[in-house]
Amino acid sequence: MASGGLVSDEIVIGIIADRIKQPDCSKGFILDGFPRTLSQTKALDEMLAKTGEAVSLVMAFEVNPAVLEKRICGRWMDKGSGRSYHVKFCPPHSMKLGPDGKPIPATMTDDQTGALLFQRPDDTAEALIRRLDGYNSQTLPILDHYKPKGIVKTIDGGRHIDEVWVEVSAKLGAK
């Protein structure tokens, strides 16, 4: 882990198993970003089955790749707070555009602290292609695994965040 590698599936499953025993998980819990592979999915299912539980809802957000690219390539972050900005959807007050229509990096500062914002090195169109390849090869099989159980709910994530939240809330409430 110190070398930047991933933690083994067994360790992650153990951490999840310990965490969901806590009182605040007694009525359910949400996993975000896990499982990422079919083997992790099966390990999660086996771990839950030991206590008579099972995954009860899987939300799949569908977004057009062009929309994803626009969202990812326009994102800027504040390192200290984690606040996220976007050149189109939520620009910092300080943003100034250059002659090419792109933000001038020196003007991209956090609204609260004035600290310089940064773009993640993987917030590029090229990195998005790799991410989508990973999604298609690793995540789609997870959805196929859960679809026969009738628990996969698809959400149009390309809409405005408020509309997406209304649908997510409704699906969580209907669960």
User: Model's pTM, two decimal places?
Assistant: 0.79
Phi, psi values for residue 157, rounded to 5°: -85, 5
Q: Is 170 a member of any domain?
A: yes
pLDDT digits (tens, 9 = 90+) for 105-150: 999 999 999 999 999 999 999 999 999 999 999 999 999 999 999 9
Could you give the count of Cα atoms lying within 13 Å of 39 in the half-sphere of its Cβ? Answer: 4
Domain that includes residue 152, residue range: 9-64+140-174
Distance of CA 6 to the CA centre of its chain: 17
Q: Is 90 a member of any domain?
A: no
Give me the pLDDT at residue 31, please. Answer: 95
More confident residue, 93 or 27: 93
pLDDT digits (tens, 9 = 90+) for 15-57: 999 999 999 999 999 999 899 999 999 999 999 999 999 999 9
Q: Is 2 a member of any domain?
A: no
Q: Is 37 a member of any domain?
A: yes
CB–CB of 158/67 below 8 Å? Answer: yes
CB–CB of 112/81 below 8 Å? Answer: yes
Q: Say if residue 78 is exposed, middle or buried (CB neighbours under 10 Å; 0-12, 13-18, 19+).
A: buried
Q: Which residue has the tokens 């998005």?
A: 128
Q: Is 145 a member of any domain?
A: yes
Work out how many domains the chain is built from and give that number: 1
Q: Is 33 a member of any domain?
A: yes
Give me the pLDDT at residue 1, please. Answer: 46
State how far the Cα of 20 lies from the Cα of 28, in Å rounded to an integer: 8
Q: What is the CATH number of the domain that holds 164?
A: 3.40.50.300
Helix, strand, coil shares of the chain, percent, nearest 5, are 45, 15, 45
Q: Is 94 a member of any domain?
A: no
State how far the Cα of 47 lies from the Cα of 20, in Å rounded to an integer: 11
DSSP letter for 90, please. B
Q: Is 53 a member of any domain?
A: yes
